[in-house]
Amino acid sequence: MAALDKLIKNNEFPIVFIGSGLSIRYLKNFPNWRGLLEYLWNLTGEQSDFYAFLNRTRNDIEKEKPNLKQSELDYLTNIRVGTMLEQKINKLFYDEKIKIDNFTQKEAFEKNITPFKKVLSNRFLNYEFKDEMLDEFEYFKKMLIKTQIILTTNYDTLIEDAYNSISDYGIKTYIGQKGFFEQTMGYAELYKLHGCVTDPKSLIICENDYRRFEKNSVLISAKIISQLLHSPIVFLGYSLTDQNIRNIIRDFSSSLSEKELLKLESKIIVIEREEGLNEIREETVNDRDLNCRFTYIRTDNFGEIYKKMAEINQGVAPSEVRKYQHIIKNLIIERGKEGTLKSLLVAPSQLDELEKNIGNKKLVVALGDSTYIFAIPDVITYVYDYIFEKDELNTDIVLRFLANQPSKSRLPFLRHVNIETISNSNLHPGEKEKLRQRLENHGDFLKEKQRITNRWYQIKFDDLESILKEDYPLERQYGIIAYNIDNLNLNDVELYVKKAVEKLKENGEIRISTELRRLILLYDLKKNKRDNA
């Protein structure tokens, strides 16, 4: 995994293209392009064979363009079949021979939505996960929040749903090519190139749709090239024969100079599924048709890919950068036009209300390498970010927060604190010493567990469910779980702790009880203990 290791070493948030292969991987009964066309064909009630229709269409195109490659021929065949199906389904609906769920003739007329696009939207509006893929999907979500920009040709909402389920700040979604016509932040953005089910008119499937799309494809290339100077590009869920991916790569590679093309090899990573292949095989591909070289990875072990990509850590998540960047940009540009700017100190919790609260005041926000504009988090914010592994807090701010907590206070910390991170931080020597003391005082699982001396908690259990059935008072429940943590399934403990912390956060609490802190720390020590801690 040399390419991914380099990605981690350079600590670069990637631009990620996501194709239908990932939706097919995680969702039940999710069709590929041809499967979708067959589904639409069956809705027309045609008695003739779908593949006979497909063969006739392909033969017609082959006669028109005899020198096409197989992938190009299949691509054009699918588009033409989609065009013919649109005509058939629209006519059937307008002739009142078929009905479409949640769609009326009045709506078709007033909103100018074609029946075919509504059928298409309905097909992907809801989805159901494959149970056996849920564990891997959790790694997929953690990978998503480490992406700078995501581009997809998928219609469904899987990506934005997954991203927003794990990030407090969310992802900004652009449907169609709207985002390419305006100045954007360049962080935590999703571009749905072929439209989205939430806007049926935006869906791209037939010849007219693709004609409009290709007319503006230069905008996509310009967007990618502007980011390529700083960010690698990863393709997931596409096949190397997929004409969508080939068109995208060809468009922007043709816009590069010879010098820029040489850099492209390490910048582009195409990851393709090879069924049953647990290892990760990597090679460099020189594709003359695309006029570029790139890294090609084959595997069926996508969980390992996601884990690697999730290791990228620049201190703040792209979604957090986007949030702060958006507000600060608006303040500086809009207020700056009105006159002299003044300074203001704000905390992250104030950013949501900042624009509203300052009214017409004139200000500027200054960012520096060593000066921390943003306030230290409270205990609940820190623990929530830590337990759910959101990593949306700046690394040095996290370390400073821990250094300034009372030495006897129990908090999870092993993912952030070790000898190396302490030495490399920008903290004051006194703060570094406090972190070393915390590591020494609270970094040993056995010693921490032996501090549970209250006999009220020293009752042996073999599983978490049995403890919960006893209906103990909450503080005693925390203590008993902590005392028995060696005997319990750690995944069960993790879910329990997450639920407890989430409830405190939802209730607006600002403190965590002593016994819950102890339980969280023991869980952290058991899960995250490292040799260099």
The token duo for 7 is: 């990605």
Count of helices and strands (H, E) across the chain: 25, 8
Residue 248's pLDDT is: 76
Give the span between the Cα atoms of 271 and 318, in whole angstroms: 22
Q: Give the list of residues 6+ apart from residue 428 with CB closer than 8 angstroms, or none.
A: none
Give the span between the Cα atoms of 195 and 200, in whole angstroms: 8
pTM, two decimals, is 0.66
Contact 296, 283 (CB under 8 A): yes
Buried b (16+ CB within 10 A) or exposed e, 133-144: beebbebbbbbb
Half-sphere CA count of 106, side-chain side, radius 13 A: 1
Query: Partners of 191 in the beta sheet?
Result: 151, 174
Nearest to 435 by CA among 445, 446, 425, 444: 425
Give the span between the Cα atoms of 99 and 101, in whole angstroms: 7
Give the span between the Cα atoms of 293 and 262, in whole angstroms: 8
Q: Domain extents for the chain?
A: 2-27+128-310, 33-124, 379-528
Residue 426's pLDDT is: 82
Q: What does each C-alpha distance from 62 to 41, 76, 268, 288, 289 come to in angstroms?
A: 22, 10, 32, 23, 20
Residue 247's pLDDT is: 79
Nearest to 126 by CA among 153, 102, 158: 158
Residue 48's pLDDT is: 92
Nearest to 81 by CA among 119, 53, 114, 42: 53
For 2-27+128-310, CATH number out of 2.115.10, 1.20.140, 3.40.960, 3.40.50 equals 3.40.50
Q: What does each C-alpha distance from 244 to 20, 72, 153, 347, 408 come to in angstroms?
A: 11, 10, 8, 44, 58
Nearest to 233 by CA among 219, 252, 215: 252
Residue 176's pLDDT is: 85
Residue 264's pLDDT is: 74
Question: Which SS3 state, helix, strand or coil, does residue 417 take?
Answer: coil
Q: Give the list of residues 6+ apart from residue 346 with CB closer than 8 angstroms, or none.
A: 354, 365, 373, 374, 375
Would you give per-residue pLDDT tens digits along the chain (533 residues)?
Answer: 588 888 888 888 899 999 999 999 999 999 999 999 999 999 999 989 999 999 999 999 999 999 999 989 999 999 999 999 999 999 999 999 999 999 999 999 999 999 999 999 999 999 999 999 999 999 999 999 899 999 999 999 999 999 998 887 789 999 987 766 666 666 788 999 999 999 999 999 999 999 988 887 766 666 666 666 668 899 999 988 888 778 777 877 777 777 777 777 778 899 999 999 999 999 999 888 888 888 999 999 999 999 999 888 765 667 656 555 554 555 444 444 444 444 444 444 444 555 455 454 444 444 444 334 455 688 888 999 999 988 878 788 889 889 888 888 899 999 989 888 898 888 888 889 999 999 999 998 999 999 888 888 999 999 999 999 998 889 999 999 999 999 999 999 999 999 999 988 876 677 799 999 999 999 999 998 854 44
Residue 466's pLDDT is: 94
Residue 333's pLDDT is: 44
